[in-house]
């Protein structure tokens, strides 16, 4: 059972900013906060969502660091409406794990492996079964109508389904250089989602920073379901890795410790520290605000 309730409201001129909270009535330790600014004027209806994957902290932490300033900025919305979900998966975020309800996911994995050990006649590949469990507990694979959990359902019904454009923040979790600093779209080339990705890339200044657009269509993802609903949606993949010979800033190492490393096709890649992952956030945020000025 889910409860969507209005918690607080601010106003400036015609603009009304409302803080909503999506709560599980039973069994939830953390609610999902939604801030919604409505200008009462025609214009784009944008949803910015971060933190679907709890281990991709760069977007949520940057938005949470705005604190009360976020409300003040949303009160400056003059056209259309802007919705901000700073952390869509607070339980995964608090645990530093990708999954919704990470404890339940780990318990499911353990139980499945015990069943496999007790049933030697099982013919399905254990890796396939593990992958099925991962998809069930991955928020960004649960947006199809038949698969939505209660939080996804509440976000979709009240906010996303009414949007004209969606920006979904992630961090590249693989050392593959082709996955870093990309704006992803699920539709056809030159269709509305691709056009939105190119617009963000050019108008925000990300093109000059080497960002690219990339077609991506993971089954059940928010990008795909928005595309099917006729909503332009772009996935922002903040960079998670860089070439190993690019040094980390000394001040960041002092704050966060030495970076770890990954490998892609035999080539070492350095994992970016949090401030490095967040470098593009001011550009992305300013572009979003510019849509509602």
Tokens of 130: 């593990």
Tell me, yes or no, whether 144 lies in a domain.
Answer: no
Tell me, yes or no, whether 255 lies in a domain.
Answer: yes
Tokens of 225: 């379901």
Tokens of 217: 């269509």
Alpha carbons 195 and 18: distance in angstroms, whole number: 30
Kindly tell me if the per-residue pLDDT of 216 is higher than 80: yes
Contact in structure between 288 and 199 (CB atoms under 8 Å): no
Tell me, yes or no, whether 142 lies in a domain.
Answer: no
- Per the listing, tokens 């991709």 go with 56
The pLDDT confidence band at residue 25, using thresholds 50, 70 and 90, is: very low
- The CA-CA-CA angle for residues 120, 124, 128, to 5°, reads 125
The stretch 118-125 carries a mean pLDDT of: 69
Contact in structure between 54 and 224 (CB atoms under 8 Å): no
The tens digit of pLDDT for each residue in 142-180 reads 999 988 988 999 999 999 999 999 999 999 999 999 999
- One DSSP character per residue, 15-55 reads EEEEEEEEEESSS-S-PEEEEEEE-SSSS-EEEEE--SSTT
Alpha carbons 273 and 89: distance in angstroms, whole number: 22
Tell me, yes or no, whether 124 lies in a domain.
Answer: no
Please report, for residues 38, 97, 241, 249, 287, the alpha-carbon distance to residue 255 in angstroms, rounded to integers and kept in the order given: 38, 22, 18, 10, 29
What pLDDT, on a 0 to 100 scale, did the predictor assign at position 119? 78
Reported pTM:
0.92
Tell me, yes or no, whether 37 lies in a domain.
Answer: yes
Kindly tell me if the per-residue pLDDT of 26 is higher than 50: no
Tell me, yes or no, whether 31 lies in a domain.
Answer: yes
- Split into its structural domains, the chain has a count of 1
Greatest distance between any 2 Cα atoms in the chain: 68
Per cent of the chain over pLDDT 90 is: 76
The stretch 24-28 carries a mean pLDDT of: 51
The separation between the first and the last C-alpha atoms of the chain, rounded to the nearest angstrom, is: 38
Alpha carbons 287 and 89: distance in angstroms, whole number: 24
Task: Supply the range of the domain harboring residue 255.
Answer: 2-98+150-290
The tens digit of pLDDT for each residue in 91-114 reads 999 999 998 876 776 666 666 666
The tens digit of pLDDT for each residue in 56-91 reads 999 999 999 999 999 999 999 999 999 999 999 999
What pLDDT, on a 0 to 100 scale, did the predictor assign at position 27? 47
Contact in structure between 248 and 223 (CB atoms under 8 Å): no
Burial class (CB in 10 A: 0-12, 13-18, 19+), 108: middle
Mean model confidence pLDDT for the chain = 91
Tell me, yes or no, whether 139 lies in a domain.
Answer: no
Question: Which residue from 285, 275, 272, 293 is spatially nearest to 48, judged by alpha carbons?
Answer: 285
CATH of the domain at 182: 3.40.630
The stretch 277-289 carries a mean pLDDT of: 98
Tell me, yes or no, whether 32 lies in a domain.
Answer: yes
């Amino acid at each position: 059972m889910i409860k969507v309730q209005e918690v607080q409201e601010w106003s400036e001129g015609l603009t009304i900013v409302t803080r909503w909270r999506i709560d599980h009535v039973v069994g939830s330790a953390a609610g999902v906060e939604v801030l919604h600014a409505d200008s009462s004027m025609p214009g784009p209806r944008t949803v910015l969502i971060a933190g679907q994957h709890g281990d991709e902290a760069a977007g949520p932490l940057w938005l949470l660091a705005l604190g009360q300033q976020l409300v003040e900025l949303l009160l400056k919305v003059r056209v259309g409406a802007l919705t901000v979900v700073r952390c869509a998966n607070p339980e995964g975020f608090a645990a530093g794990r990708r999954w919704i309800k990470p404890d339940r996911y780990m318990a499911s994995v353990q139980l499945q492996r015990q069943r496999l050990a007790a049933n030697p006649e099982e013919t399905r590949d254990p890796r396939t079964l593990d992958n099925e469990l991962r998809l069930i507990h991955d928020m960004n694979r649960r947006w199809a109508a038949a698969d939505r959990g209660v939080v996804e359902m509440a976000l979709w019904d009240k906010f996303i389904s009414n949007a004209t454009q969606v920006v979904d923040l992630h961090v590249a979790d693989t050392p593959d250089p082709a996955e870093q600093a990309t704006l992803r779209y699920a539709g056809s080339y030159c269709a509305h989602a691709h056009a939105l990705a190119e617009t963000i890339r050019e108008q925000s200044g990300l093109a000059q920073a080497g960002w690219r657009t990339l077609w991506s269509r993971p089954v059940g993802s928010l990008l795909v379901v928005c595309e099917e609903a006729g909503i332009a949606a772009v996935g922002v993949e903040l960079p998670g890795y860089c070439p190993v010979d690019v040094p980390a800033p000394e001040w960041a190492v002092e704050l966060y410790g030495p970076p770890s490393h990954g490998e892609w096709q035999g080539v070492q890649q350095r994992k970016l520290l949090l401030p490095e992952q967040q470098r593009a956030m001011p550009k992305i945020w300013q572009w979003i605000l510019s849509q509602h000025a």
